[in-house]
Structure 1
Amino acid sequence: MRAIWQCGATEPGAPPPADAAEWVAMDGPGTAAAALRAHGLWSLDAPPRDFDAQDWWFLARFDAPHDAVQVLGCDGLATLAEVSLNGQALFASDNMFTRHRHALPPGVLRPRDNELRIHCRSLGAALRQRRPRPNWRAPMVPDTQLRWFRTTLLGRTPGWSPPAAAVGPWREVWLRATHEIPIEHRLQARLEGGHGVCELDGPASEWPAGTESPRLVLQGPDGQVHASDVRASDGRFAARLDVPRPALWWPHTHGEPALYEATLELRLHRGGTARHALGRVGFRDLQVDTAGGRFALRVNGEAVFCRGAGWFPLDAVSLRSETRACRGTLLRMREAGLNMLRLPGTGVYEDDAFYAQCDELGLMVWQDFMFASMDYPFDDAGFAASSEREVRQQLRRLAPHPCLAVLCGNSEVEQQAAMWGAARELWQPRFFHEQLPAECRELAPGVPYWPSSAHGGAFPHQADAGTTSYYGVGAYERPLADAVASGLGFATECLAFAAVPSNETLARLPGGASTRVHHPAWKSRTPRDLGAGWDFDDVRDHYVRELCGVEPARLRHADHERYLELGRLAVAEAMGHAYGSWRRADARCGGALLLQLRDFWPAAGWGVLDDQGRAKSGWHALRRALQPTGLHLSDEGANGPVAHLVNETAQPVQAVLEFTAWRDGEVRVASAEQPLTMEPRSRRSVPLLGLMDHFMDLNHFWRFGPPACDVLHARLRAAGADAPPLAEAFLFPLGLAPLLANRRALDLRATVTAMNDEQAELELQTRAAAIGVHLDLPGWEAVDDHLHLAPGSTRRIELHRVRAGAALAGTVAALNGPGPVPLEKRA
């Protein structure tokens, strides 16, 4: 739809702006906030603006020279919208998550100078109307009346999301002829007894005139073609196609995400064939194991440890995820060893391209329906009908995607009811426990349904039963050992910290690089729970104090830069330790998803990527901890240090486990190695003392004398001479604090070699153990960072230019070293 778009605002109930100067040009349909931002009239750095306080008007002027245009489509209108064309009212929408297709009345469309008007009434004014009170309150939502409106909480939750409430046509608006609209259909692929079954059905009335001999065609990843005739009766068509021994769709951590291209072929009476692409399908079997009160996902019969993060639109202002940025972020997910994204009920349903990319890349999706925390009025007939229409539309759209792994009724509704003190019978609304699962069984058979993100046990947020929001390590400042002690079953959210991004990102804060953590510009973007007397900077600082042995407030006064670096280190250590613990052979954890993958804006936010997708310290820790072949070290007290090994692949791994113990960060006191076979899809634990021919108090548990060592370093490498390491891990028996306090010369060297204009290789060498090695290379990003180096080791790290023209220059520093080391260039 080629049109000239513009928008304007008025006070609630007023007519549209009369002065042309009050209208703002738009590149196309979008939110009011995005339109103002594009013209520099508003930004997230400016004083907050309440977009819900006014009425907003969106006009599209266009020509329609052909008579064939018959249908107007609006794929998403936020939130109380009335749509008219050339002065004639067409329809209204009160649900931003529903799609509208409206057949145009005869004669309403003109060849030239058409005006489409979308009037979005003030949500703020609507919230002021008196309505029944809820049975409980959600602390994160300032106005409980929001429960009556089907709109996102993004932009409407101070302390969590930026103040950019979505108003307007946030998804596509289009005009098409009836025959140009894709044929409505339902496509399902499943496994039956090891064979693939693909079924297609839909209304035959939408086929082009003169159609005969329709066929459903599937082309597999090996190029083999499978086809089946389509039968039509009573105005509908249906087909069933059997695929013997199909290639299976796997999450990328456990195999290949095999896809089949589906096409509907229609032979025409006049000759030729019309082909309608139906999308890609994958064959996989999904089951949830709830034995013993746990929650574990099985894909194709194999238990899969789910790890990933909450996904929100990459642009919190437009609520869109631009295709290139979206793919880049999803590729980073794969690179870090993550395999699941959760779309929480606080956000939005993503567009089709997002799910298609997850299909291709082998990334599972935990899909919440967009209900979160509140006591929704399902006893209101209008609200219930709107919610059901939303659910059915979304299920028809999402069900064919093999990436869809779990359908979840809501985000924390049960937990919020329980924590507020509501009676137990109110925790589980009928809509989520009866109506919604029935809709899912009908429209998305084979995809497990779970009623709420926190569900199971004596209370919804019990850590060792069902699923939970786990913040023992994190917001509730429990010791790192709580990751194991809690007996965590499955975390749909976890490990929230105000994670400090790079200095380059901090320079984009209001106030620039000189903005300090106590400054209002910093604090305005620090995540917090409304009404709490603390924020997530305080949470990060707690772990700095516990892990690094310093008082953060005093350090911040004296050396703000080191304060930030220790904050980055603490977050990385906490995340790496927690995930390593949850993958142990004796752990009952089925998965853990970070609260948020990517920050909304430049800030010390919950994400492990910043707002532009650059990695923070936690992301690097996850990348090291979550590869399909993994290694983690733990201190088991009287049982000594233990290595925990993981092989998630379908093939056995012949490997060698080796470890070295160091005193004073550089004196070797013990070393040993052991060849072993890691069976497919296996986990095992190996006591390090079992590799030695004598006893040593490696973890200083028995304390018969001075500590034997202060650094333990283990590597898992492929069998064979000079084989590369598969994984490595560190354990500090005396903690990090003594090493960080003893800052001394390490003989750390950093040599960089340019590979081409966009890539380089950094070689790091150190004589003594280097703790928390971090790179400051403006305009460049390292594949690995915020890492430890074993004494006498050499590490090569890929570098990628992320800012055009950035010089290959900078420094490298270790937190237990004397200071930054400049890069040496190698010709």
Structure 2
Amino acid sequence: MDLPRSSLRRYFHKACLALIAASSSLIMAAPVTGATTRVQNLSGSWSFRLPHSDPAAASYAKATEWHTAQVPGHVHTDLLAHQLIADPYVGDAEAALQWIGNATWEYRLQFDLDENIQQARHQDLVFEGIDTFADIYLNGKKIATTDNAFRRWVLPAKSLLKKRQNELRLILHSPIQRLLPQVQAMPFKLAGNYPSPFGDEPRDAMTGNFARKPGYHYGWDWGPRYVSAGIWRAVKIVSYDEVFLQDFHIQQDRLNSQRAELQAKLELQADQETQIDLDLRILDPDGKQILSKNVQTQLGKGHNQLALPLYIDQPRRWYPHGMGEQALYSVRLSIRKGKKIITETTKRTGLRQVELAREKDQWGQAFGFVINGVPVFAKGANVIPFDMFPNRVKPGQIRAILQSAKEANMNMLRLWGGGYYESDAFYDMADELGLMLWQDFMFGGGVVPAYDPKFRENVIAEAREQILRLRSHPSIVLWCGNNEQETAWKDWGIGQKLTEANPIFAAHVWAGYQTLFGKDLREQVTRLGAGVPYWSSSPGNDLADRANDSNNGDKHYWDVWAGSQAIESYLSETPRFMSEFGLQAWPVQSTVDAFAPRSEQSSDSPLIRAHQKFLAGDGNQRLLHYIRANYPEPKTFADFIYLSQLMQAEGIELAALHHRSSKPRTMGSLYWQLNDVWPGASWSGIDYFGHWKALHFHARRFFAPLAVAALHDKGITRISAVSDLLQDQALEWRLRIMDVDGKVLRDERLPLTLTANSAIELAQISDAELPPASKADTTFIVAELIRDGNSIARSIAYLQASKQLALPDPLLEATIVAEADHYRLHLHATKLARAIWLDFGEHQHSLSDNALTLLPGESISLRLDSAQNLTTLRDSLRIRHLAQLQAIPAATSH
């Protein structure tokens, strides 16, 4: 055995092998497949129907016929594939499709057993995910009922399986109809989330918070209501003989820059006492083998736990994007009995330490992440599901969104609790890209029946499975109990209202909440979560008296948008960690065209309103409220799209730069939201089809590792510099006061040593201190960071609302030229060109930048990629900028 001296000083020895006594209980961790552990995939020729006995059968007779089905899949997508329903995303189809969620659905599969597993001692039928309430029949015998879409179901099936003509059948029950009787029977109801606007469920008896099912299926303020059902993840038969590997992970005991002390931990099930050989190899992040070791050990009958110590010198640690490399080690395990391979698997993981900083200081109690001993300012956004129907989400779509997050200099994403636990591919990509993940457990809001022991037991089993599945991913840095349930109880009047109605029941409900989120989930994360911290609710202070406190814990701030406060209010809110804030906008024109014809595109159109899901008020009127506060009145719907995106981008930029400038008091800025679940108006920076809104282009600039913030409020412009880099930076900073025609009223350059991982205020300039020639409607302030004579960061502060600025025609000149494998778009502005948006209509394209402002006399060269020819691109180029709208009179329709 050869061990490279530079990488591995010690290896594990037989004498260090820990063999822990067995029990007969099975752990539902993801099985590992290999030579004698064999898998038969059951994604084959499924079919589905609406049973004739269902009340909907009379109205939807065609759905009662057997049709082919896709598994994994969903009943909505199966119906759509056979043109039995309209496209759920086009027009205003939503209301007419609510019957689907109230119906029962039947799925069946006929299959033969693969020859290579017919003689196996154990044959388990495994469902990776069923949505949600199902009766499962195998060859006519009911073998299980399910009640949790987030759990994995492993069903021993050897006694029922045949070599030929097996039939697997599932009856999927409506979650609404299954739960509604018990909810309606409650004398005091639990508050839900969003009542159905379609009458398919009583507004005072919402069932969604009683179901362990994706909450967003019941509708949210950014997505439709499609209470789907289906076999949404893989189905397979897993067979094995006398030994089965149930779980394998690498536990990190101690880690620093000099040494990693680890354990390879295995859990195996054995039918009888037997001897096995373990072959383990470790590959470093470059794929170089640094260990090869064989250990022989004896297994007892039943459940066996093995711990194999190992040590790595000078380990390469995993860091978030922007802090260091995303080093990932691979550990290959082979288990043999004699010459027969029982199973083989590879586990990939990163070596990193994570801490949640909670020190008390002059502002209150901190909330921030420390990775490998280094405090990290978290920059990013909240992630919602990528589609209403998860089976339609392909790895390439996930990769594009996560890569876009990295390109926007994000280092953290919060996986919101109203969706579902993402696919393995998602977490693998986050590991590779260096995106820290804040992982909510799947509770999106409302009040859940945590006082019910059976409900808690179901959730604990779900949590255990998911933690075991995901604990090897270095990207996961926090497990959070729920989204907004504590603040809803304490701050929104939900707890008070129930207490006034029935104090005994209210106390019972709150005690159940504390047990589930304060104790049960915390225990699972502490015991199984590989050192990742737990947080009981967001926003919160881990069950302290106040739930949404600016000085303690994490903060959700919705006074802007939901509370109609001015965007400038962001500058008065300085939290410890901002985990939610946001502004809405419409997606790009081509995305709107995908669901509504141009003739129907107005803010009051039924089709447009059907894709505007802000139901706490009129969403388009709320958008207009914020547009009108700062920008000209939109005359057309195209103007409405442009101005909504500009308002969103500049508003979120204002907040994010304030958060970053407030480091270390504030240590995180995660806006709502990164992506979309369908095409429509929302808070996202990337729309359903993956197009970047103006916000995402801005995010790439305001989340840059080195940034400058010029923030004007109440007659004062505060200028700050921010660095997330881990080395001091020798720079210059430049201050210019200019007018829109290009006249420079003041121009100063000063040396700046920007300390590593810090924020510093550079100047405060009151409007009264501006040069005498300054005019509020034409003057603006430009702050820049300069390195080696080049501007690397810029921020512009205006003295008045944009609608009050006297913006001239910038006299933009645009040329497109062909280069080797792409095009180049050159832009020049003679005068200030505020908020440029470049578009090529229906033609697919990619621009290296957009949503930008050019100073008077400034030029920029952008890379343009497109399959179109040069003539088409030149003819289709459309340039918007704010001055085009300044002279447009108010319109009565948008």
Match of 1:823 in 2: none
Matched, 1:543 2:626: yes
Q: Is the 8 A contact 2:740 2:856 kept in 1?
A: no
Q: Does 1:8 align with 2:49?
A: yes
Q: State the one-letter code of the partner of 2:138.
A: L
Residue in structure 2 matched with residue 155 of structure 1 by the alignment = 217
| Aligned position for 1:126 | 178
**Candidates 275, 280, 283, aligned match of 1:219:** 283
Please tell me whether residue 506 in structure 1 is matched to residue 579 in structure 2: no
Instruction: Report the AA paired with residue 65 of structure 2.
Output: E
Q: Which residue of 1 aligns with 2:4?
A: none
SS of the aligned residue for 1:431 comes to: helix
2:31 corresponds to: none
Residues 555-610 of structure 1 show CA distances to partners (whole Å, capped at 9, x for unaligned) of: 34x44433332222111110111111100045622212222211222212221111
SS at 2:473 equivalent: coil
* Residues 274 and 117 of structure 1, relative CA distance in 2, 3 Å threshold: closer
Shift, 1:447, TM fit: 0.5
Structure 1 range deviating more: 678-687 or 326-335: 678-687
2:15 corresponds in structure 1 to none
> Residue 700 of structure 2 aligns with which residue?
623
Q: Is the 8 A contact 2:224 2:613 kept in 1?
A: no
Q: Which residue of 2 aligns with 1:203?
A: 267
Which residue is 1:824 aligned to? none
Counterparts of 1:25-40 in structure 2 under 5 Å? 25-40=68-83
Verify the 8 A CA contact 1:83 1:91 in the aligned structure 2: yes
Equivalences for residues 624-703 of structure 1 within 5 A: 624-635=701-712, 641-687=717-763, 699-700=767-768
**Which of 95, 114, 128 is the matching residue for 1:75?**
128
Label 1:388 to 1:11 Cα distance change in 2 as closer, same or farther (>3 A): farther
1:817 shift after superposition: 4.5
CA contact 1:68–1:177 (8 Å) conserved in 2: no
- The yes-or-no answer on 1:58 pairing with 2:107 is yes
1:349 corresponds in structure 2 to 421
SS across alignment from 2:215: coil
Cα offset, 1:437, TM superposition: 0.5
Residue type at the aligned position of 2:226: A
Bigger shift: residues 212-221 or 448-457: 212-221
- The equivalent of 1:177 in structure 2 is 239
Q: For the Cα contact (< 8 Å) 2:281–2:289, is it kept in 1?
A: no
> Is the 8 Å Cα contact of residues 509 and 515 (structure 1) preserved in structure 2?
no
* Greater length-normalized contact order (CA 8 Å, ≥ 6 residues apart): 2
Q: Deviations over 1:384-415 (max 9, x none)?
A: 22111111111111111111111001111111
Mean Cα deviation higher: 515-524 or 678-687: 678-687
Give the match for residue 164 of structure 1. Answer: 226
Counterparts of 1:437 and 1:398 in 2: how far apart (Å)?
Answer: 16
Q: Is the 8 A contact 1:262 1:281 kept in 2?
A: no
Q: Which residue of 2 aligns with 1:442?
A: 527
CA distance in 2, matches of 1:208, 1:523: 65
- Verify the 8 A CA contact 1:471 1:496 in the aligned structure 2: no
Partners of 2:451 and 2:774 lie apart in 1 by 69
User: Which residue identity does 1:162 align to in structure 2?
Assistant: P
Of 847, 870, 874 in structure 2, the residue corresponding to residue 782 of structure 1 is 847
User: Does residue 750 of the first structure (1) align with residue 828 of the second (2)?
Assistant: no
Q: Which deviates the most, 205-214 or 137-146?
A: 205-214
Q: Supply the distance in 1 between the matched residues of 2:298 and 2:330 (Cα, whole angstroms).
A: 22
Q: 1:232 to 1:791 in 2, by over 3 A?
A: farther
Deviation at 1:444, TM superposition (A): 0.6
C-alpha deviation, 1:440, in angstroms: 0.7
Which of the residues 770, 794, 803 maps onto 1:737?
A: 803
CA shift at 1:516, angstroms? 1.1
Q: For residues 641-680 of structure 1, what are the alpha-carbon distances to aligned partners after superposition, in whole Å with 9 as ceiling and x for unaligned? A: 3332222122333322223221244211111112323232
Q: Is the 8 A contact 2:176 2:207 kept in 1?
A: no
Unaligned runs of 5+ in 1: 690-696, 821-827
In the alignment, structure 1 residue 145 sits paired with structure 2 residue 212: no
Alignment of 1:328-339 (within 5 A): 328-339=400-411
Matched residue of 1:168: which SS?
A: coil
| Distance (whole Å) between structure 1 residues aligned to residue 566 and residue 469 of structure 2 | 43
Aligned partner of residue 143 in structure 2, secondary structure: strand
* Structure 1 residue 799, shift from structure 2 partner: 2.4
Helix, strand or coil at the partner of 1:185: strand
CA distance 1:449–1:81, change in 2 (3 Å): same
Distance change >3 Å, CA 439–CA 524, structure 1 → 2: same
**Distance of 1:19 and 1:397 partners within structure 2:** 40
> Who is 2:307 aligned against?
238
Contact 1:12-1:125 within 8 A present in 2 as well: no
Matched, 1:102 2:155: yes
On the 8 A contact 1:288/1:448 being kept in 2, the answer is no
CA distance in 1: counterparts of 2:735 and 2:275, whole angstroms? 70
Q: Does 1:583 align with 2:650?
A: no
In the alignment, does 2:669 pair up with 1:592? yes
Distance 1:476 1:128 in 2: 33
Distance 1:275 1:632, change over 3 A: same
Any stretches of 5+ residues in structure 2 without a counterpart? 1-40, 197-204, 500-506, 888-894
2:502 is matched with: none
Tell me which of 493, 498, 502 is aligned to 1:420: 493
Aligned residue number for residue 692 of structure 1: none
Q: Which of 314, 317, 336 is the equivalent residue of 1:248?
A: 317
Matches within 5 A, 1:131-530: 131=183, 132=186, 136-142=190-196, 143-157=205-219, 159-178=221-240, 183-192=246-255, 194=257, 195-205=259-269, 212-222=276-286, 223=288, 225-226=290-291, 234=300, 235-266=304-335, 269-270=338-339, 275-291=344-360, 292-318=364-390, 321-418=393-490, 419-423=492-496, 428-456=513-541, 459-497=546-584, 499-512=585-598, 514-529=600-615
Deviation at 1:324, TM superposition (A): 0.8
Distance of 2:771 and 2:817 partners within structure 1: 47
Aligned equivalents of 1:9, 1:368: Cα separation in 2: 35
Match of 1:465, SS?
Answer: coil
Aligned to 2:892: none
Q: Distance in 2 between matches of 1:484 and 1:123?
A: 44
Contact kept in structure 2, 1:148 and 1:377, CA below 8 Å: yes
Moved more, 39-48 or 95-104: 39-48
Q: 1:200 to 1:11 in 2, by over 3 A?
A: farther
Q: Tell me which amino acid in the other structure corresponds to 1:245.
A: Q
| SS in structure 1 of the partner of residue 650 of structure 2 | helix
Match for residue 694 of structure 1? none
Residue in structure 1 matched with residue 29 of structure 2 by the alignment: none
Asked if the contact 1:770/1:788 (under 8 Å) is kept, the reply is yes
State the 1:787 CA deviation.
1.4
Q: What is the SS of the residue equivalent to 1:386?
A: helix
Residue matched to 2:638: 561
Worse-matched range after superposition: 419-428 or 621-630: 419-428
Matches within 5 A, 1:703-722: 707=775, 710-719=779-788, 721=789
Q: Alignment partner of 2:413: what SS?
A: strand
Q: Rate the CA distance shift 1:134–1:450 in 2: closer, same or farther, 3 A.
A: farther
Structure 1 position 774, deviation (Å): 0.7
Q: In structure 2, do the counterparts of structure 1 residues 186 and 112 end up closer, same or farther at CA, with 3 Å as the change threshold?
A: same
Work out the CA distance in 2 between the residues paired with 1:58 and 1:802.
43
- Count of paired positions: 794
Indicate if the aligned counterparts of 2:600 and 2:607 stay in contact, CA closer than 8 A. no
Q: How does 1:40-51 map to 2 (within 5 A)?
A: 40-42=83-85, 43-44=87-88, 45=90, 46-48=93-95, 49-50=97-98, 51=100
**Contact 1:76–1:96 at 8 Å: present in 2 too?**
yes
1:272 is displaced (CA, Å) by 8.1
Question: Are the counterparts in 1 of residues 814 and 825 from structure 2 also a CA contact under 8 Å?
Answer: yes
- Higher mean alpha-carbon deviation, 487-496 vs 604-613, is at 487-496
Identical-pair percentage: 24
Q: Is the 8 A contact 1:210 1:269 kept in 2?
A: no
| Secondary structure of the structure 1 residue equivalent to 2:247 | coil
